[in-house]
């Protein structure tokens, strides 16, 4: 009898052990949804939304309808994606005139929450580029005298993080993640900046100053910098607010080889509490700066240089052929 009981218990134990991996490996849904807008803020109905896992190379198209700018995609955590993998969003308008290419890293919190909800996407017109605020430390040249130096990543949305200016008069500089490969010249045009803030104390009416700067390869500020600035006054303390600035340099400027541009956020000197600057809060647009349509393709050589180089090569090839004929 004892042997039968022991044998039965062993069989039961083996069945339990065999079912554990199946339970552990069970997939969970990962939902991504949100709305797509044109560069001017109007709705983009029937957008084309392709999401690719850059770690696996697998691409999936989100569902949408012709009479809505809403999109939705249901993936499986454990097979379609995992925490720490990067998703690439390739989004275009129905006529292909505007597009956006965004990447973000899937975090453990995203997996625990079951997805990325209310992920808003704003398209850009050709030549425009977008850099996203992060709380990541900067490598490379920075300007001395700033309170905090943080990175802006082109096309890559940062984590749900924030930069805290702890006292009135503190400032943070957000730098482009790439230095210029050569002298890159910009004509007079509009740079659009948008970021989310919260004043933690009774600082209604206190001013936030946003400036657009350029530095050289040593971190020294360039002549004429800051090129433009804007001002925003806190409406209601302890609430999330969106600061939007259209920064218009009065003249054209050039970022020299090895230099880069930066966005400064300065908290009012008389503020009594913190100013929290949010990089990518859930359910809100990510904080960012967008270059104008006249962007020559920073940080690569500007178009005239490319054209001159190509023309020079054509002239050289023609010369060689003439020499051979002679």
The enclosing domain of 260 has a CATH number of 2.60.120.260
Q: Is residue 4 scored above 80 in pLDDT?
A: no
Q: Does one domain contain both 161 and 70? A: no
Is residue 115 located within the same domain as residue 162?
A: no
The rounded distance, in Å, linking the Cα atoms of 69 and 37 is 7
What is the greatest pairwise CA distance in the chain? 108
Are residues 102 and 215 located together in one domain of the fold? no
- Confirm if 295 and 227 have CB atoms less than 8 A apart: no
41: left (phi over 0), alpha (psi -120 to 50) or beta: left
Name the phi and psi angles at 109, rounded to 5: -65, -40
Q: Is the pLDDT of residue 213 over 90?
A: yes
Q: Look up the domain containing 79 and give its range.
A: 1-126
Minimal CA–CA distance to 261: which of 101, 162, 154, 156?
A: 154
The domain boundary, picked from 69, 103, 126, lies at 126
Q: Is residue 33 part of a domain?
A: yes
Query: In terms of pTM, does the model score above 0.75?
Result: yes
- Among the three residues 100, 126, 152, which one is the final residue of a domain in this structure? 126
Asked if residue 161 is part of any domain, the answer here is yes
In a domain, 310, yes or no: no
Residue 306 has pLDDT above 90, yes or no: no
Among 66, 94, 126, the domain-final residue is 126
In 46-129, beta strands by DSSP E: 48-53, 59-61, 63-64, 70-77, 86-92, 99-105, 115-116, 121-122
Same domain, 39 and 29: yes
Residue 164 falls within a domain, yes or no? Answer: yes
In a domain, 141, yes or no: yes
DSSP string, 255-324: EPTT-EEEEEEEE-TT--S-EEEESS-TTSPPPEEE--TT---TTSPPHHHHHHHHHHHHHHHHHHHHHH
Q: Are residues 220 and 77 in the same domain?
A: no
% the chain with pLDDT above 70: 84
Same domain, 149 and 117: no
> Measured between alpha carbons, how far is 159 from 280 in angstroms, rounded to an integer?
6
Residue-wise pLDDT tens digits, 54-94: 999 999 999 988 899 999 999 999 999 999 999 999 999 99
321 lies in some domain: no
Q: Do the beta carbons of residue 288 and residue 210 sit within 8 Å? A: no
Residue 11 above 80 pLDDT?
A: no
Residues 9 and 311: their CA atoms lie apart, in Å, by: 83
Report the relative pairing of strands 28-37 and 115-116 from DSSP bridges: parallel
User: What's the number of domains the chain is made of?
Assistant: 2
Token pair of 295 as six digits: 């962007």
CA dihedral sign of residues 28, 88, 43, 198: positive
Q: Are residues 50 and 13 in the same domain?
A: yes
Are 120 and 231 in a shared domain?
Answer: no
Residue 311 has pLDDT above 60, yes or no: no
Residues 38 and 170 occupy one common structural domain:
no
pLDDT at position 312 over 60: no
Sign of CA dihedral 37, 214, 253, 301: negative
Residues 180 and 115 in one domain: no
Q: Once rounded to an integer, what is the mean pLDDT over residues 6-15? A: 53
For residue 7, the domain's CATH number is 2.60.40.1110
Q: Is 318's pLDDT higher than 70?
A: no
Span 116-174, pLDDT tens digits: 998 899 999 999 999 999 999 999 999 999 999 999 999 999 889 999 999 999 999 99
Cα angle 287, 48, 59; round to 5? 90
Q: Are residues 204 and 280 in the same domain?
A: yes
Residue 108 lies in a domain: yes
Tell me: pLDDT of 8 over 80. no
Q: What is the DSSP string of 15-48?
A: HHHHHHHHHHT--EEEEEEEEEE-TTS-B-SS-E
The verdict on 137 and 255 lying in the same domain is: yes
Whether residue 245 is contained in a domain is answered as yes
Predicted pLDDT at 54: 95
Which comes out higher in pLDDT, residue 283 or 83?
83
């Amino acid at each position: 009898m004892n042997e039968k009981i022991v044998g039965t218990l062993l069989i039961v134990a083996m069945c339990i052990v065999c079912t554990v991996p199946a339970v552990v490996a069970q997939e969970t849904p990962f939902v991504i949804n949100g709305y797509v807008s044109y560069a001017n803020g109007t709705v983009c109905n029937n957008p084309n939304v392709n999401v690719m896992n850059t770690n696996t190379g697998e691409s999936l198209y989100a569902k949408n309808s012709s009479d809505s700018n809403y999109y939705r995609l249901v993936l499986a955590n454990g097979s379609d994606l995992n925490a720490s993998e990067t998703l690439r969003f390739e989004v275009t308008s129905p006529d292909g005139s505007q597009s956006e290419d965004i990447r973000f890293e899937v975090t453990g919190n995203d997996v625990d929450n079951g997805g990325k909800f209310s992920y808003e996407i704003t398209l850009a017109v050709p030549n425009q580029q977008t850099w996203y605020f992060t709380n990541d430390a900067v490598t490379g040249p920075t300007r001395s005298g700033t309170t905090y130096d943080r990175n802006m990543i082109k096309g890559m949305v940062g984590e749900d993080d924030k930069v805290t200016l702890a006292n009135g008069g503190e400032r943070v500089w957000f730098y482009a993640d790439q230095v210029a490969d050569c002298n890159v010249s910009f004509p007079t045009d509009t740079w659009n900046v948008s970021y989310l803030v919260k004043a933690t104390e009774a600082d209604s009416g206190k001013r936030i100053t946003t400036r657009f700067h350029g530095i050289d390869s040593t971190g020294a500020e360039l002549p004429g910098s800051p090129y433009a600035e804007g001002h925003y006054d806190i409406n209601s303390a302890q609430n999330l607010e969106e600061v939007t600035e259209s920064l218009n340099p009065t003249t054209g400027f050039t970022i020299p080889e090895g230099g880069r541009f930066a966005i400064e956020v300065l908290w009012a000197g008389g503020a009594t509490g913190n100013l929290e600057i949010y990089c990518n809060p859930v359910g809100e647009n990510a904080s960012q700066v967008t270059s104008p349509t006249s962007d020559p393709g920073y940080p690569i050589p500007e178009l005239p240089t490319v054209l001159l180089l190509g023309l020079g090569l054509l002239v050289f090839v023609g010369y060689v052929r003439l020499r051979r004929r002679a």
